Amino acid sequence: MKKFLTALLAIFAVVTLAACSNSSTSSSSEETTLSSKPKIEGFSYSGDIPENPKKVVNFAYSYTGYLLQLGINVSSYSLDLEKDSPAFGDKLADAKKLTSSDTETIAAEEPDLIIAFSTDENIDKLKEIAPVLEITYGTNDYLEMMTNLGKVFGKEDEAEEWLSNWKDKVADAKEELSSILPTSTTFTVMDLYDKNIYLYGNNWGRGGELIYDALGYSAPAKVQSDVFPTGYFGVSQEAIADYVGDYALLNVNDSTKEAAASLTESDVWKNMTAVKEGHIIESDYNLFYFSDPMSLDKQLDAFVSAVKKANS
């Protein structure tokens, strides 16, 4: 009986060790999968994120141009502004418009990656469909975002190439503009929505990253104090003169032309110094909405041309 118990205990020990070994291997394998992507502030991963995804459903629309610039196959869009962007051309011609609540349609698309903002209310449902790259907006600036997405998708060289070219292009633009605009020139970035006037800081698109960060122009004091902390700020028509600097970038498209006319025909607008001096640069809302690499490249060209025209 004693020999039997000894043998039984030995067998139990072997089985237990084998089970622990399998559990450890499984746990180690899972940890390897989850940690295979770089730890980046503002990025979180659910599931095994593919380095070269064949089909990406993207709801983080701010980053569409980054993905396209890096050669990622984006198969969906959630804003018409993505589809209508002059910077993207026909790169989304075959993409399907989806919203994150269309879970059945998303599942039918069989994506191997979903990208979404961390604030997306359907994020948990999306994680049940495919691996999810979750991004917290505003954690990284527009240059850091290019670097970080390059790391995630193994496109570091492509990201670095764009960043290097961008640095050179901005330097050339600054030199070209230096004979036209003093370095102390102030700019206000604005657009209109449903007859309301909105001003933008240096991290909310509409040309803010281009003018304030890349080119280094300043915003008027009230824009810095009231707009920059939140990224955007609504003002009344009566108060707009307090926020407009030496120049204003006014983003307009077909849907906001009527609202723009209401503002630009007002006495408050006409009496502003920037207006009297012809320093209002009317820009394409569809082009200046985003601050991704593809948009910035075209925005810079358009901006330099517009400034030169305003001072010719």
Please, where are the H alpha helices in 70-141? 80-83, 103-109, 123-127
Place of tokens 């709801």: 59
**pLDDT attached to residue 29:** 34
- Measured between alpha carbons, how far is 210 from 78 in angstroms, rounded to an integer? 24
Helix, strand and coil percent figures for the chain, each rounded to 5: 45, 15, 35
Domain map (residue ranges) of the chain: 43-156, 180-310
Place of tokens 């089909």: 55
- Measured between alpha carbons, how far is 215 from 205 in angstroms, rounded to an integer? 14
Phi, psi of 20 (to 5 degrees): -65, -40
- Measured between alpha carbons, how far is 1 from 308 in angstroms, rounded to an integer? 100
Phi, psi of 134 (to 5 degrees): -105, 125
Beta bridge pairs of residue 115: 58, 133
Are 109 and 76 within 8 A, CB to CB? Answer: yes
**pLDDT attached to residue 257:** 87
Residue 210 has what DSSP assignment? I
Q: Could you give the count of Cα atoms lying within 13 Å of 27 in the half-sphere of its Cβ?
A: 6
Are 49 and 32 within 8 A, CB to CB? Answer: no
The domain 180-310: what is its CATH number?
3.40.50.1980
**pLDDT attached to residue 99:** 96
**pLDDT attached to residue 162:** 98
CATH fold label, 43-156: Rossmann fold (3.40.50)
**Prediction pTM value:** 0.86
Q: What is the mean pLDDT, run by run of 10 residues, along the chain of 312 residues?
A: 42 40 36 61 95 96 98 96 96 96 97 97 97 96 97 97 98 97 97 90 97 98 97 95 98 90 92 97 97 98 97 93
Nearest Cα to Cα of residue 188 among 150, 134, 243, 149: 243
- E-state strands within the chain: 43-46, 56-58, 76-77, 96-97, 113-117, 132-135, 187-193, 196-200, 232-235, 247-252, 280-284
**pLDDT attached to residue 242:** 97
CATH fold match for the domains 43-156 and 180-310: yes
How far is the CA of 284 from the CAs of 46, 85, 205, 288, in angstroms?
37, 10, 13, 6
